[in-house]
Structure 1
Amino acid sequence: MWTLYPDIKSDGKTALDVLKNTLKEKKINSVYVDSKIRLGRGIKASKNDFVTKMRGVKTKDELERIKKAIKQSDAGQEFARNLVECGEGLTEREVRTEIDYFMGRNGIQENSFTTIIASGPNAAHSHHSNTNRKLKSGDPVICDFGVFWDGYCSDITRTYFVNGEPSDELKEIYHVVLKANELSTHELKVGNSGHKIDKAGRDFIRSKGYGRNFVHGTGHGFGLEIHEFPSLTYKSKVIAKESMAVTIEPGIYIPGKGGVRIEDDVLVKGDKPQVLTKAKKDLY
């Protein structure tokens, strides 16, 4: 059985009593639970990734919720872009606060993770913690955030430039990352391996001399949680299946200078992947 909202009626019995009776009535001998759930003492469990893999393929109802979460994040990215490009002098924490406040005014009650704002040399850290560093003209500013909508989340990253004035080097890096994003997205087809999807963008980045500066996997699944099956890395043997929802997020990080990451939420749909994210990716 797989249900989003189980309809359980109780006549005063405990939840465990209801569960035991239901399993007995349905003649269910095995129950699959997510591997992250901690079971009580005395409960026997065999290791099996059935639930993990099942959650990787989204139902129609799940996708509707995911798309609504993405729509809210898209609006947040448009706000973030306008804020950052005119935000010289603001701190990373102030930018984060403004974005979160904007999202809250639009009905969002919970972020899917702490909003990440990484500016200037801080953008060279793929997983940055916000600081009081002030934005300077020409800074790259990585804006990575997502929201929950009806239990399902989004995860989108864009890189903007303060005053819209990147250096020639950062401009080149931006276009390399954008192309890598497109190449990996193109390979997100039913039957392709996670390795092949990762390799498409990674090989292009390597060909431009930035191979050592792409320090994480290309993407991951998302849904009820921000990081789910499948994982799209150079070691991944997972095969893409219809209706998997994953991120495609290549990045280049240059110590002391900054970095660029562009992340989309994408749906596996036959041999024509559907980019669900609508936030702009043009440089200006």
Structure 2
Amino acid sequence: MNKNKYIYLLMLPGILFFIVFKFGPMWGLLISFQDYSPFAGFWGSEWVGLKHFTEMFQSEQFYIMLRNTFLINIFNLVFYFPLPIVLALMLNEVRHGLYKRIHQSIVYMPHFLSWVVVASMTFFVLSTDIGIVNKVLYTLGFKPIAFLSQPQYFWALLTAQNIWKDAGWGTIIFLASIAGVDPTRYEAAVVDGAGRWRQIYHITLPAIRPTILILFILRFGHMADVGFEQLLLMMNPLVNSVADVFDTYAYNQGILRGQTSVGVAVGMFKGVIGLILVTTANYVVKKLGHDGIY
């Protein structure tokens, strides 16, 4: 301890963060087994066991939320997850330093916009009455398309927003991993006559494979999570059938209707599902001969 005291000192802020904001509040999960009332308090509220979980599982809305949550995340996993990898490989191939930094800044910038701004921009581009896309379609003689109020477009729209907003930011970890590749390996490949594509395929991709697998496992563990702010801003009564997820249900029940125990039960269910999924993904990855997260 004394020998590594400065390392422990550097770790202290992170440890305190997890204790105060992650582990400390976990006692609140007990509220999901109560009919919690703010007036009665934690100790005065009635214990009801698994009542809220049973009602949630028996509700017809549960299967709609389960379908929407997982399909939205599958769209993101298939279409969004590979893009930061591809973008990082492309940025790594840019040799002009200033040109590279400018493009990195451009692709990072959307990440710092709030979802309110992104939703407003989406409305400005795709709405039926003032949307730029529909104005162009009308000019060309086509009928306007109600992108924002037709359920068949909703999941694709959410995925496109995530790609535009966060694909560039997601390249940071991959670029850092690529920067750790030994340059002599590329020099040896050039001597052997390998072009840029072969260098990427045989050197860069294998070098960043552990990073890709770790992020994939962690991403898989968030299959029960959907961006709440994004959905709350984009959903409307016409698309509720494909937009209602566990997060919006917890908000409606726990905040708007004051059923705190129901909201906590939904959060606990999501946490258990995430734990199962991340453990399963880690097990499969290790069975395939790769290193997992533990």
TM-score category, normalised to shorter length: under 0.3
Q: Give the structure with the larger helix fraction.
A: 2
Q: Give the structure with the larger strand fraction.
A: 1
TM-score normalized with structure 2 length: 0.27
Name the larger-Rg structure.
Answer: 2
Q: Which structure is richer in relative contact order (CA contacts within 8 A, separation 6 or more)?
A: 2
